[in-house]
């Protein structure tokens, strides 16, 4: 019995539904592999985060980290739900612009923003530049002068806190590539430079300790650390931070054995810590910002695949192969990420065997699950992999020249394509024939 699927998500035919749409019909209508989002789940998650701040009567922003899944439709939903967004590239910013996302609610992150990216941000009146390093401060100063513009900024601090998560998705430890170091005085130096520049409107500080975090301690630690830095800055430089941004990283359930805290519990602990530490200082209570990515879109996303070939070797675990794989979800290969997968036609069907769920890519490492319990399956069956909404499509590739899947939004029994399936022609769209010079 899969704990992630509720009775409401199974229709009269016994099929898994997403946003009220029958998954077998979705697979038939749009083809597989297919990425489907339950839009109500996305909305609900943003609302839950917002509600905690409102109940606690603190100024806040829920800034969706759009690297988890960026698409015009996704920025539209985030805008409608009153969220801010983080972007980390000209491409994400461009997509937000195309979606008509309010630019004053955009924060631009990144540890090596280019001149062109910063210029684009200035010209489109992006709300906040999250300054990461001295090179960037100089670059931005230069561009603001050239454009005769001003912009709001925050400083990204490396808090020296290690989160207990995969090392590729840790970001807060002292030797992280992100942000200004505290101990060596770099963060103070950055503050002085920003305050000395009348074109930069210093708004606050930011830190992000990592991703898929299950414990409160890291968030409480970073919240406390940021208030301490703000307090030091007020005492030393007379600067009062208006915003404290503790980043994202709230863990979600991927497999039944995961037991993450509710989003409310994470945010409540952050708010309580900040209130408590601020009360011990002369600081005015700052606004609290969070940047969830995975927790907003992860549980709302599903990958639908069709079963194809099978390999049975006596004494070894069988391979069941689907029509997608590492091109639409690199996470199992890259991070040993695990997911639950069910038979779309009967999600609670009795489990018959443990198999390796393989992808179709020409690489032994293209295994979506090393150990997946499944009912008996046959070619043509549709499988639904659960909780794939974060860093799945957004990290998709055209490896082996496979087209990327379509993305469908489903809500209230209606579905629509929000990213079209790539065609074979799309795959050669950027290719140019070579004319040999002999
Ligand atoms: N804020 C900043 C500054 C970040 O760097 C990130 C994620 C987030 C917020 C959102 O974190 P989230 O709430 O989604 O955990 N590709 C990896 C995850 C990389 C996360 C990068 N930064 C994965 O598939 O697990």
Q: What is the pLDDT of residues 240-298, one digit of tens each?
A: 999 999 999 999 999 999 999 998 999 999 999 999 999 999 999 999 999 999 999 99
Say whether both 251 and 330 belong to one domain.
no
pLDDT category of residue 171 using cuts at 50, 70 and 90: low
Residue 13 CA to residue 135 CA, distance in Å, equals 60
Which of 34-38, 48-52, 257-261, 322-326 bottoms out in mean pLDDT, i.e. has the lowest?
257-261
The answer, yes or no, to whether residue 422 has pLDDT greater than 60, is: yes
Q: 341 lies in a domain?
A: yes
- What residues does ligand 1 touch, defined as CB less than 6 Å away? 65, 68, 86, 109, 169, 171, 208, 211-212, 247-250, 291-295, 331, 335, 390-391
pLDDT category of residue 4 using cuts at 50, 70 and 90: confident
Domain count, the chain: 2
131 Cα: distance to centroid of ligand 1 (angstroms): 17
Q: Are 110 and 131 in contact (CB under 8 A)?
A: no
Beta bridge partners of 355: 372
263 and 350 belong to one structural domain: no
Evaluate whether residue 157 is within a structural domain: yes
Are 240 and 339 within one domain?
A: no
Choice from 159, 208, 211, 250 to test ligand 1 binding pocket (greatest atom count within 8 A of CB): 211
Q: Are residues 104 and 238 in the same domain?
A: yes
| Claim to verify: residue 355 and residue 226 sit in the same structural domain | no
For residues 43 and 27, membership in a common domain is answered with no
Both 372 and 290 in a single domain?
no
Domain end marker among 258, 276, 294: 294
The pTM of the whole model exceeds 0.85: yes
Q: Is residue 433 part of a domain?
A: no
CATH number at residue 165: 3.20.20.10
21 part of a folded domain: yes
Does 184 lie in the same domain as 51? yes
Nearest 10 degrees: Cα torsion 235, 238, 242, 245: -50
In a domain, 1, yes or no: no
For residues 69 and 189, state if they share a domain: yes
Q: Helix (H, G, I), strand (E, B), or coil: what is residue 77?
A: helix
Q: Which positions ≥6 away from 27 have C-beta within 8 Å? A: 34, 304, 306, 344, 382
Q: Is 362 considered catalytic here? A: yes
Q: Are residues 212 and 230 in the same domain?
A: yes
Chain mean position to CA 190: 28
Q: What is the CATH number of the domain that holds 401?
A: 2.40.37.10
On whether residue 236 sits in a domain, the answer given is yes
User: Domain containing 332: what range?
Assistant: 7-31+300-428
């Amino acid at each position: 019995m899969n704990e992630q699927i509720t009775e409401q998500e199974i229709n009269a035919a016994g099929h898994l539904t997403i946003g009220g749409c029958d998954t077998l019909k979705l697979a038939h209508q749009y083809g597989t592999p297919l990425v489907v989002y339950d839009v109500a789940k996305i909305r609900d998650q943003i609302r839950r985060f917002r509600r905690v701040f409102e109940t606690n009567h603190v100024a806040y922003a829920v800034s969706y980290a759009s690297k988890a899944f960026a698409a015009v439709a996704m920025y539209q939903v985030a805008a409608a739900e009153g969220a801010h967004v983080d972007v980390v590239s000209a491409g994400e910013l461009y997509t937000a612009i195309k979606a008509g996302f309010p630019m004053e609610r955009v924060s631009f992150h990144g540890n090596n923003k280019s001149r062109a990216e910063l210029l684009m941000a200035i010209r489109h009146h992006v709300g906040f530049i999250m300054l990461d390093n001295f090179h960037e401060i100089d670059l931005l100063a230069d561009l603001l002068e050239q454009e005769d513009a001003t912009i709001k900024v925050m400083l990204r601090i490396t808090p020296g806190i290690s989160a207990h998560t995969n090392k590729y998705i840790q970001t807060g430890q002292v030797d992280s590539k992100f942000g200004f170091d505290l101990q060596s005085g770099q963060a103070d130096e950055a503050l002085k430079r920003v305050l000395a520049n009348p074109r930069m409107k210093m708004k606050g500080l930011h830190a992000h300790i990592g991703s898929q975090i299950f414990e409160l301690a890291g968030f409480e630690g970073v919240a406390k650390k940021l208030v301490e830095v703000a307090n030091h800055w007020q005492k030393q430089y007379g600067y009062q931070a208006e915003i404290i941004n503790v980043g994202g990283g709230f863990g979600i359930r991927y497999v039944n054995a995961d037991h993450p805290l509710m989003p409310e519990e994470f945010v409540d602990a952050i708010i309580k810590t900040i209130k408590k530490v601020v009360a011990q200082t002369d600081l005015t209570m700052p606004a609290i910002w969070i940047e969830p990515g995975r927790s907003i879109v992860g549980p709302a996303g599903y990958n639908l695949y069709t079963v194809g070939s099978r390999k049975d070797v006596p004494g070894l675990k069988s391979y069941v192969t689907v029509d997608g794989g590492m091109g639409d979800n690199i996470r199992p290969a890259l991070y040993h990420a695990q997911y639950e997968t069910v038979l779309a036609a009967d999600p609670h069907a009795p489990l018959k065997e443990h198999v390796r769920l393989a992808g179709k890519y020409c690489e032994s490492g293209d295994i979506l699950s090393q150990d997946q319990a499944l009912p008996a399956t046959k070619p043509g069956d549709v499988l639904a992999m659960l909780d794939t909404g974060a860093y799945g499509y957004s990290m998709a590739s055209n490896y082996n020249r496979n087209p990327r899947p379509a993305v469908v939004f489903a809500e209230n029994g209606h579905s629509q394509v929000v990213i079209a399936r790539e065609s074979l022609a799309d795959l050669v769209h950027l290719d140019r024939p070579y004319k040999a010079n002999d």
